[in-house]
Amino acid sequence: MLRWVRQQLGFDPPHQSDTRTIYIANRFPQHGHYVPQKFADNRIISSKYTVWNFVPKNLFEQFRRVANFYFLIIFLVQLMIDTPTSPITSGLPLFFVITVTAIKQGYEDWLRHKADNEVNGAPVYVVRSGGLVKTRSKNIRVGDIVRVAKDETFPVDLVLLSSDRVDGSCHVTTASLDGETNLKTHVAVPETAVLQSVANLDKLVAVIECQQPEADLYRFVGRITVSQQTEEIVRPLGPESLLLRGARLKNTKEIFGVAVYTGMETKMALNYKSKSQKRSAVEKSMNSFLIIYLIILLFEAILSTILKYAWQAEEKWDEPWYNGKTEHERNSSKILRFISDFLAFLVLYNFIIPISLYVTVEMQKFLGSFFIGWDLDLYHKETNQRAQVNTSDLNEELGQVEYVFTDKTGTLTENEMQFRECSINGIKYQEINGKLTPEGFSEDSPDGNRHSLMREEELFLKAVCLCHTVQINADQTDGADGPWHANGIASPLEYYASSPDEKALVEAASRVGVVFTGTSGDSMEVKSLGKPERYKLLHVLEFDPNRRRMSVIVESPSGEKLLFTKGAESSILPRSKSGEIDKTRIHVDEFALKGLRTLCIAYRRFTPEEYQEIGKRLHEARTALQQREERLADVFNFIERDLELLGATGVEDKLQEKVQETIEALRLAGIKVWVLTGDKHETAVSVSLSCGHFHRTMNILELVQHKSDSTCAEQLRQLAKRIKEDHVIQHGLVVDGTSLSLALREHEKLFMEVCKNCSAVLCCRMAPLQKAKVVRLLKTSPEKPITLAIGDGANDVSMIQEAHVGIGIMGKEGRQAVRNSDYAIARFKFLSKLLFVHGHFYYIRIATLVQYFFYKNVCFITPQFLYQFFCLFSQQTLYDSVYLTLYNICFTSLPVLIYSLFEQHVHPHVLQSKPVLYRDISKNAHLGFKPFLYWTILGFFHAFVFFYGSYLLMGEDTSLLGNGQMFGNWTFGTLVFTVMVITVTMKMALETHFWTWINHFVTWGSIVFYFIFSLFYGGIIWPFLHTQDMYFVFVQLLSSGSAWFAIILIVVACLFIDVLKKVLYRHLQPTSTEKAQMEEDKGSVSSACDFAESRHRGEDNRQLLDPSSLPDSSYVH
């Protein structure tokens, strides 16, 4: 327990050395000197609180808010000294606010705990005591041997020991880690690969030494020492031996591996950012405004205290005959009296700081977040998924986004490759109903309905079937007994590939008649129109990004040696000496213009002498100890020349629906889109072009494949120069992971300057933490833009947590992104509705709510300050204490809350169809200093009108009652309070554009409630009140016709100037939003139509509020 406490406090870090030693199956040395290393357990923790730290941590976070801390101080002052108002007036609202917020945040964290428990409680199988034991994921320890079956996710970082294959290999997909959907092959060391049973593994005596945990997904350094009888065999371990938590086992029945990194030390967890409290820009503005109001409050309190003592300098005012001082007051210290008076004024004016603002904002955010979940436009019917809100604190931030960072695979694309077209021997073909049909021919035309393939077509398809790294599901036979198609081909086999393009091509070839049926040993088997052929695989010339091609050398059934090559057109066409090169180049450009991913395919025949020479050179290069990579590159270039071009293919990575329109809408709204992907450079650029992220007219700049600081800096300077010279046209920037690391290390400013002048940026080959670094770089730049990150895999979690707003896509790559996001949607296209409609509404609503709160509290407290000039600064309160307490809680709270939930200042359809309106609210336009100043000055103006309007009307000795009686000070205070309640409620009514029956009910209901409550409160003697100052006051006030006239006159005088200002600005300097409002009004033919429209929109809202109607309605919010 003591060690755990020391670790939590950071005094006793669990790892002391740079390496860790892991005894497989936890067989520790038997000698007494060995002290086992301590490792983390296998629990994943994404929650923020525990049962123990919830209360202190949550209270600390809440009292960081200016208003909460301020009201705590006021509450303590009221407890300590004699003040004009009761401590309950501050203590009760504070307790209410703190409790409501704690419940909300506790509930959200409980949901995170629930999700963590689901992951940590997942069943796993571990080898213990000679058998397989079923346990929970959280119980796995470092050194345990774990069994994982096909299609299961690895529960820890494992070093592969064996698989169901003799060679100890297995295939995994790391889609949820790095976004790549291709299959990766991992291999076990030969000594453990033969141990395929639990009994054999239980006898294994081995030790692994490896580096301590680090975040890099692609780096692992270690060694395994296997004890066999008398000798110890040492083998190196690299990334090919490590199976990462979050990756999924494919095409392999089962594997056994030893746990090396567990829990929060796994590479997946190290790539998560710690969950920090995100605070919206509106909340930061609120805190700034509170500080300004705190200064106003201190100024008023200090001024009142000074004026009190200035007034009391005169003998007659210091101790008037009717209010003599006690002995204690006469003898007390002047400094203490000054402080006591200052604190008393502070308490008297403290309502200028609106504590109920926070609780109203919390309620608005919490209740408002349900609208996103209930919106049927954000519901995806195919997957039965609706949008979900994980953090309601950031609703208004959706209306402030300036940069969108998006993942590519599974976010912009469907993650499905489809073969579309190909060019063979200069002729374009399309696949129609499982047949290759030349362009221009329909299936019915005589030439389009062939059952055989021409020689060139067959050779092209064989090249597609042989030049790849595709594998077949081990469970499948060759399909001989399966159902047959009309053209004599077996039903499709299940292919796995390291590249989705290859898989799509091999599947397309199998549909049109040439089927790759698998490998056995060093042979590749192909069925051409049902006739089996066997090709011997002699050499594989692996793909690399410099050559941008891959090749195989095979021996045909007739004994001929052939080279088949496929790759990017820029690497194949210059090396081709025959074939339809010009026609193919034109076709490739046409495919690219359609947004297809293109590959060229060529071949070469070798004479026996040529092949002998090639074989010799390859062997020398592959066995070289020095400069092996350079030598291999030279040999590959020597082999891949004098090619005969066969043709080209066009494959589509199917984009999600409406991605292009969404990206274009984001651009119109003034939002810059950055695509951050782990994919290859060419793939990423191709998708960027097809989804409209890059335009064909755009000048695309590249910062790729830089190995040194100097070359990277030079390239950046050249790019900056080009942008300045070509400032007319739009620029797009492509940068890869390694170049980005160099750019961020030394040349951050220059890199940012280049990026900001580009209208679109694409970052490829990005590690998860690099994605987060890019987001942080933009986020912390001098302009402090609001950022949004959207992704669907575990590799996007860091980026999602780093950005101001994180959005998870409910895709095919697990639920990590959704679990760690602030909002989750099913498709990328829903982003436009989320930002342009929901974000716009939330921002407008909360901006008005915040400023209205400050306005109504200025209206409330300024008459109290002005009243002190008429009562010798004696801290006499103008309003009754019940009115003081209920003003913010009952009389003026509901209209603004309902406004902040239902207001639609422009119709949702208009907002979505005109993304340009989003610019009107960008950069916190409605909560800047100017609007804030306007609302504050308006509040002071209205307060002066309330007070002096009432005062002038009553004059020095005016009798406003029929029987000639005068009004007292409580009647005067009540008149001011009545005028104020009506005016601030009517002001809210003026701000409302969209009226529902609820708005009408709470607006007019609040005024009626105030009158009924006042009559009830003043009309009865309440036994529990020690003073009944308000008895019969309100009834007396309302019995005066002059008082009614005063109320109407003052309310009209207050609101007239505000209405005038609105009308003038709307017609002389209208914003885009106001123009849209006027267009919307013109569209209404008559008042009857207006009523129908309003009712229709009201019904929309009612439907929105009814979650039961979700699956089968078609509502547009």
Neighbours of 1017 (CB within 10 A): 19
> Is residue 402 within 8 Å of 408, Cβ to Cβ?
no
> Is residue 804 within 8 Å of 790, Cβ to Cβ?
no
Helix (H) or strand (E) holding 724: helix 709-725
Q: How many residues does the chain have?
A: 1117
Q: Which residue has the tokens 């077949």?
A: 472
Q: What angle do CA 159, 165, 169 make, to 5 degrees?
A: 40
As to burial, measured by CB atoms within 10 angstroms (0-12 exposed, 13-18 middle, 19+ buried), residue 762 is buried
Q: Which residue has the tokens 């004696």?
A: 874
Quote the CA–CA distance of 1101 and 1117 in Å, as a whole number: 8
Burial 403-429 (b: 16+ CB within 10 A, else e): bbbbbbbbbbbbbebebbbbbbbbbbb
Long-range contacts of 183-186 (CB under 8 A, 24+ apart): 183/250, 183/251, 183/471, 183/496, 183/497, 183/498, 184/498, 185/240, 185/498, 186/160, 186/240, 186/241, 186/242, 186/243
Quote the CA–CA distance of 911 and 195 in Å, as a whole number: 64
Q: Report in angstroms the alpha-carbon separations of 1058 from 814, 990, 1046, 1081.
A: 54, 9, 19, 21
Neighbours of 729 (CB within 10 A): 11
For residue 613, which phi and psi values (nearest 5 degrees)? -60, -45
- DSSP character for 132? E
As to burial, measured by CB atoms within 10 angstroms (0-12 exposed, 13-18 middle, 19+ buried), residue 179 is buried
> Shortest CA distance to 841 belongs to which of 404, 373, 395?
395
For 594-721, strand residue ranges (E) read: 597-606, 643-655, 672-676, 699-703
Q: Please give the structure tokens belonging to residue 78.
A: 């009221």
> Shortest CA distance to 368 belongs to which of 282, 293, 275, 284?
282
Quote the CA–CA distance of 148 and 902 in Å, as a whole number: 51
Q: Report in angstroms the alpha-carbon separations of 861 from 16, 83, 139, 308, 361.
A: 61, 16, 61, 18, 21
- DSSP-assigned beta bridge partners for residue 976: none
Quote the CA–CA distance of 344 and 1009 in Å, as a whole number: 31
Q: Under the phi-then-psi rule, with left for phi > 0, alpha for psi from -120 to 50, and beta for the rest, what region is 207?
A: beta
> Is residue 664 within 8 Å of 692, Cβ to Cβ?
yes
> Is residue 470 within 8 Å of 505, Cβ to Cβ?
no
Quote the CA–CA distance of 257 and 243 in Å, as a whole number: 8
> Shortest CA distance to 163 belongs to which of 187, 130, 132?
187
Quote the CA–CA distance of 745 and 740 in Å, as a whole number: 8
When computed from its CA atoms, the radius of gyration of the chain, rounded to whole angstroms, is 37
3-state SS, 904-926, equals CCCCHHHHHHCHHHHHHHCCCHH
Residues recognised as catalytic: 407
Tell me the DSSP string of 442-466.
-TTSGGG--SS--HHHHHHHHHHHH
Quote the CA–CA distance of 516 and 796 in Å, as a whole number: 35
